[in-house]
Amino acid sequence: MPIDISHYLKDKSQIIEEHLDKLIPEKKVPYNLLFQAARYSLIGGGKRIRPLLALVTAETLGCSPLHGLSAVCALEMIHTYSLIHDDLPCMDDDDYRRGKPSLHKKFPEGHAVLTGDFLLTLAFDVLANDDSLSPQQRLGLIQTLSKHAGGEGMIAGQVLDLASEGKNINLETLQLIHRNKTGAMIAASIQFGAIIAGASQEFMGILYSFGEDIGLAFQIVDDILDVTASQKHGKYIASDVVNNKATYVTLLGLDKSQQLASDLLNTALNKLKALPVDATLLTKFAQLIVNRSF
């Protein structure tokens, strides 16, 4: 029977949601505010693209469903911390996130900084302690995450992004920013799935390259949606314009950006053909990510 990908992803998202809820319970401690704030940002919002990508990749490689569930939740913790910090007045200064007030609008700003720090730290704690995985796998995941979320990935991209605000940058610099700021965590998510499934170096390389293409396509689509969603909702000015940021749309225009995202998707999907497995799930999910409308 053909796979109903939407149904499949909805089921898995629900499981991720319940697991995140268990990983960050409220606590009867004098500093429970920290757990409340972490739960405010982490639970009940977001598309869960990164943990879902890791689970779908692992399953594509023949791993039993939900193996490494705690480990993939660490990806969502890092992603959520990055959104909390990105929304702060010293960065993008966004008042809303995931359909509700940003964390620093709901809690004192200092708490928002600390909650981001907490989620960042907790992610590595969760990885180190996922006893469904071997010590070697846990180490591999910790190495992958520290590299892609850190100074050779997401933080590097964010620094470049901040430094480029209000400047005329070229396409090469924009691509470097996007590949690091957003693409690195998407590629890391695919690598998580490959490590959890115990993939060979050869398969790991193919999947990683697939992840890099999808990661860049994801961000190009985000640039496109920033413009098209603001047009649709009657906002004349997209948030990237407000923040004086160069995007694929400002550098290439809407049509060329759309074409580039679609070319990247096709290139990525062709890479999957080299894998001796049925990659239907991963293919459908990648198509959904690149063709998403929110």
Residues that bind ligand GRG (CB under 6 A): 46-47, 49, 79, 82-83, 85-86, 98, 154-155, 158, 181-182, 219, 222
Spatial contact of 21 and 45, defined as CB atoms under 8 Å apart: no
C-beta of 22 vs 100, nearer to ligand GRG: 100
Q: How far is the CB of 104 from ligand GRG (least distance, A)?
A: 13
C-beta of 102 vs 182, nearer to ligand GRG: 182
Q: How far is the CB of 158 from ligand GRG (least distance, A)?
A: 4
Residue 172 CB-density burial (10 A; 0-12 exposed, 13-18 middle, 19+ buried) = exposed
Between CA 144 and CA 148 the distance in angstroms is 6
C-beta of 28 vs 233, nearer to ligand GRG: 233
C-beta of 93 vs 278, nearer to ligand GRG: 93
Task: Give the residue from 174, 240, 187 showing the smallest Cα distance to 215.
Answer: 187
Q: How far is the CB of 62 from ligand GRG (least distance, A)?
A: 27
Question: Kind of pairing, strands 96-97 and 100-101?
Answer: antiparallel
Q: How far is the CB of 73 from ligand GRG (least distance, A)?
A: 13
Q: How far is the CB of 225 from ligand GRG (least distance, A)?
A: 9
C-beta of 126 vs 149, nearer to ligand GRG: 149
Question: Which H, E and C letters describe 32-44, residue by residue?
Answer: HHHHHHHHHHHCC
**DSSP class of residue 167?**
S
Residue with tokens 């969502």: 76
- Residue 147: partners with Cβ closer than 8 Å, 6 or more residues away: 153, 188
C-beta of 81 vs 203, nearer to ligand GRG: 81
Q: How far is the CB of 218 from ligand GRG (least distance, A)?
A: 7
Between CA 113 and CA 223 the distance in angstroms is 26
Give the CA count within 13 Å in the CB-facing half-sphere of 288.
17
Between CA 193 and CA 44 the distance in angstroms is 23
Q: Name the residue whose CB lies closest to ligand GRG.
A: 46
Task: Give the residue from 178, 120, 190 showing the smallest Cα distance to 153.
Answer: 178
Q: How far is the CB of 8 from ligand GRG (least distance, A)?
A: 18
C-beta of 85 vs 138, nearer to ligand GRG: 85
Name the residue type at position 103: L
